[in-house]
A = this chain, B = another copy of it.
């Protein structure tokens, strides 16, 4: 690897001049500057970021932890983060916690040892404890919150989104509306449940606990929860289902199929989170779409702007709006 001294020799200046010419061009005479730049280019010089980071005590590195990189929502979000980071010359370390606090802990330690300047994280159930590892690093939570004080967050307006979905069902004439909810440990699941309840109550409908089944945000859990709800006696069985996320929606679709119910004639189905298959399946699934890319992009921009301030900024929470996309899986009662 070619280093600053090699450039210095070729340009016939000292290494500090090279450093200056390359990083603070206005501190060096135009003629020398050009000579240095030419030399650097000629040698294909790439600054050693390890050395630079060690010296400046900053790495231009951001950490990103998601809970499931295989889910399109997270993959898209990660892309948003990376695009924003790149725009500002940051590089991002991507980790996949798989919802496992132990992995999160391990990865936070790993990340910490690379002197990151900031962290974007989709919290797990133990994030609040784990964040101790990274000291007073600037942290932004994405999608969900861990309740850690002093941590900024960029979220989706889950309550309003869920509420919109359920109001849509109510408008179609449905009265027994079931919900396949996510785990109580996840704030998004709670908020979506809250939106569901709000919609019912403000339409003068009762919240019936037997119409709410809890899954694990995975396909399998969605399948089981849906089966539970749909095996209620015909009179009590929901005529419409609101599913808390897309993974569970996949399970729900399979469960409905196994029960030989027709969507949307015998059952209306709507889910939180859009995916390609929701659009491709027949009938195409109505959904509450989340701005996944924007979420990542904006969160990253926010983080970087936070890093540029010298004073600590009061904790902020940003909520992005969802979009109700009505396709063919929801129909009048």
A contact set with B: CB distance below 8 Å = 1, 44, 46-51, 53-54, 59, 69-70, 72, 75-76, 78-79, 82, 91, 93-96, 109-110, 112-115, 133, 135, 250, 253-254, 257, 275-277, 280-282
Closest CB in chain B relative to A112 CB, distance in Å: 5
Closest CB in chain B relative to A42 CB, distance in Å: 15
* Interface contact B53-A82, CB-CB below 8 Å: no
Q: Count this chain's copies in the assembly.
A: 2
Closest CB in chain B relative to A12 CB, distance in Å: 24
* Interface contact B277-A112, CB-CB below 8 Å: no
Q: Known A-B contacts: A1-B115, A253-B280. Give 14 more (CB < 8 A).
A: A46-B109, A46-B112, A46-B113, A48-B115, A49-B113, A50-B53, A50-B54, A50-B115, A70-B72, A91-B110, A93-B93, A250-B276, A277-B277, A277-B280
Report 10 cross-chain contacts, Cβ distance below 8 Å, ordered by A residue. Answer: A1-B135, A47-B113, A49-B113, A51-B54, A69-B78, A82-B95, A91-B93, A250-B280, A281-B281, A281-B282
On chain B, the residues within 8 Å of A250 by CB distance are 276, 280
**Which of A70, A113, A257: most chain B CB closer than 10 A?**
A113
* Interface contact B70-A96, CB-CB below 8 Å: no
Complex: A276 Cα to B94 Cα, angstroms: 23
